[in-house]
Amino acid sequence: MTTRTVGLVMNGVTGRMGYNQHLVRSILAINEQGGVPLADGGRVLLEPTLVGRSEAKLRELCERHNIKQWTTDLESALADRGSLIYFDAQVTQARLGAISQAVAAGKHVYTEKPVAETLDGALWLARLAREAGVRSGVVQDKLFLPGLLKLKRLLDGGFFGRVLSVRGEFGYWVFEGDWQSAQRPSWNYRAEDGGGMVLDMFCHWSYVLDNLFGRVEAVTARAVTHIPTRTDEKGREYQATADDAAYGIFELSGGVVAQINSSWCVRVNRDELVEFQVDGTEGSAVAGLRDCRIQHRGATPKPVWNPDLPVTHSFRDDWQTVPDNGEFDNAFKIQWEMFVRHVLEDAPWPYDFMAGARGVQLAELGLRSSAEGRRIELPELGL
Ligand SMILES: NC(=O)c1ccc[n+]([C@@H]2O[C@H](COP(=O)([O-])OP(=O)(O)OC[C@H]3O[C@@H](n4cnc5c(N)ncnc54)[C@H](O)[C@@H]3O)[C@@H](O)[C@H]2O)c1
């Protein structure tokens, strides 16, 4: 069977996500395993051209990983007819212009979330891609995490009966940057630079809820900036103008109510950095990034409220661990392989720019809900 090579323009790979998850753990890992397997038994190797703003960083990356091509000129990279796909992991603000350029050059486009900063921008890109006849895709990595795949397995197997509610807890303490350096880039805390918890995380909650539990039909949210000043990468104090926490209620089709707290100002007292508890008539589950625990209706204890007595029962011990029953690959790599198959052999792909626009819609309406102090219904999106 044949092995072919497809060119790929990768922009923003000097950043955290672009480098770790996309370049190293997806593209280079795919090539190491011999390429993306296709339906006809053939394989596809991916040859990246790295694009960025810093010559020195790009050259160093290429030398480190034996990559042949890099440039600081996006236009010349896009003019190369050997490249079929454009990928974007730049800061969110830089994305709209670069993607529209890539679409105009006839590239299929895969991008980090959010697709754009505004719903109008996301829909505009979806329209451009459709009119140009190119394939589009947006990262929805959480769907491919072991913990959420186990949750999906439970849903598909009918474990929950009727799902009643979902409670999500996401977050950890992000240092302010003064006495200990911050572990996330400072642009995330400036609204004018495309930062903010709602824009960052509601895109994720949108596809997690839509795909697992039901379409998000209404949102009630409160977005806040708990820590108003932070210190940046150069040690300069700045005003944190973006929301660093968001408390949301999402009403789903079928009557499921989801509540998700998202915060960079909480200290972790959980097993994982994100956890979802799902309660159904027949059973409940708590899923994190990797693990998932369940409690069946038949194994549910009967607690009696009595604050006068110390708690002697360990409620946590009543839960059972869901086994892996298989190997889990890197979530980003799984989605990359799906996108390559979608481009090359028309394999099914629900994660296009319209799906990405749904995420931006939820973020935009979540922020509006918070600003106006009211519940907001999500209209159906169309082009
Ligand atoms: N899927 C996920 O779980 C996930 C997680 C974190 C971030 N993201 C998304 O990935 C994107 C990148 O986030 P990151 O955390 O890797 O950020 P980062 O700051 O580490 O990297 C940003 C990249 O954009 C480039 N860039 C281009 N124009 C820039 C400008 N004007 N200012 C600063 N940098 C510029 C930088 O050189 C760098 O390569 C964001 O859109 C973010 O929403 C996704």
Q: Give me the CATH number covering residue 243.
A: 3.30.360.10
| Residue 277 forms part of a structural domain | yes
Q: 308 alpha carbon to ligand 1 midpoint, in Å?
A: 52
pLDDT band at 277 (very low <50, low <70, confident <90, very high): very high
Q: Alpha carbon of 99 to those of 46, 83, 103, 104, 290: distances in Å?
A: 20, 14, 6, 9, 32
Give mean pLDDT, residues 240-264: 98
Nearest to 107 by CA among 64, 78, 143, 127: 78
* DSSP letters spanning 194-239: T--HHHHHHHHHHHHHHHHT--EEEEEEEEE-S--EEE-TTS-EEE
Residue nearest to atom 17 of ligand 1 (CA): 15
pLDDT band at 30 (very low <50, low <70, confident <90, very high): very high
295 and 197, same structural domain? yes
Q: Tell me, what's the pLDDT at 367? A: 98
Q: Tell me, what's the pLDDT at 1? A: 76
Residue nearest to atom 3 of ligand 1 (CA): 141
Residue nearest to atom 20 of ligand 1 (CA): 15
Give mean pLDDT, residues 249-260: 98
Pairing of strands 320-321, 237-239: unpaired
| Residue 379 forms part of a structural domain | no
Q: Give the model confidence (pLDDT) of 136-188 as tens digits.
A: 999 999 999 999 999 999 999 999 999 999 999 999 999 999 999 999 999 99
| Residue 62 forms part of a structural domain | yes
Rg of the chain's alpha carbons, rounded to an integer? 22
Residue 377 has pLDDT above 80, yes or no: yes
3-state helix, strand, coil split of the chain in percent (to 5) is: 40, 25, 35
339 and 312, same structural domain? no
10 and 118, same structural domain? yes
Give mean pLDDT, residues 293-301: 97
178 and 255, same structural domain? yes
Q: Tell me, what's the pLDDT at 100? A: 98
136 and 53, same structural domain? yes
Q: Tell me, what's the pLDDT at 95? A: 97
Nearest to 224 by CA among 247, 195, 200, 190: 247
Pocket test for ligand 1, best of 9, 17, 92, 198 (most atoms within 8 A of CB): 17
Give mean pLDDT, residues 263-280: 98
Residue 383 has pLDDT above 90, yes or no: no
Residue 237 has pLDDT above 90, yes or no: yes
The overall average pLDDT reported for the chain is 97
Q: Tell me, what's the pLDDT at 288? A: 98
Residue nearest to atom 4 of ligand 1 (CA): 17
Residues with CB under 6 A from ligand 1: 12, 14-18, 52-53, 89-92, 94, 112-113, 139, 141, 185, 200
Rounded distance, CA 55 to CA 70, Å?
8
315 and 340, same structural domain? no
Domain extent, residue 205, equals 142-329+361-372
Give mean pLDDT, residues 299-311: 94
Residue 326 has pLDDT above 90, yes or no: yes
Q: Give the model confidence (pLDDT) of 189-217 as tens digits.
A: 999 999 999 999 999 999 999 999 999 99
8 A C-beta contact, residue 103 and residue 82: no
Rounded distance, CA 155 to CA 213, Å?
9
DSSP E strands: which ranges in the chain?
Answer: 3-11, 36-37, 43-51, 69-71, 83-88, 108-111, 136-138, 163-171, 216-224, 229-231, 237-239, 245-252, 257-263, 274-280, 283-287, 292-296, 320-321, 376-377
8 A C-beta contact, residue 242 and residue 190: yes
Q: Tell me, what's the pLDDT at 105? A: 98
Residue nearest to atom 15 of ligand 1 (CA): 16
DSSP state of 175: P
Q: Give me the CATH number covering residue 22.
A: 3.40.50.720
Total number of domains constituting the chain: 2
| Residue 164 forms part of a structural domain | yes
The reply to whether omega before 228 is within 30° of 0 (cis) is no
Residue 6 has pLDDT above 90, yes or no: yes
104 and 235, same structural domain? no
Give mean pLDDT, residues 268-289: 98
Pocket test for ligand 1, best of 90, 181, 206 (most atoms within 8 A of CB): 90
pLDDT band at 62 (very low <50, low <70, confident <90, very high): very high
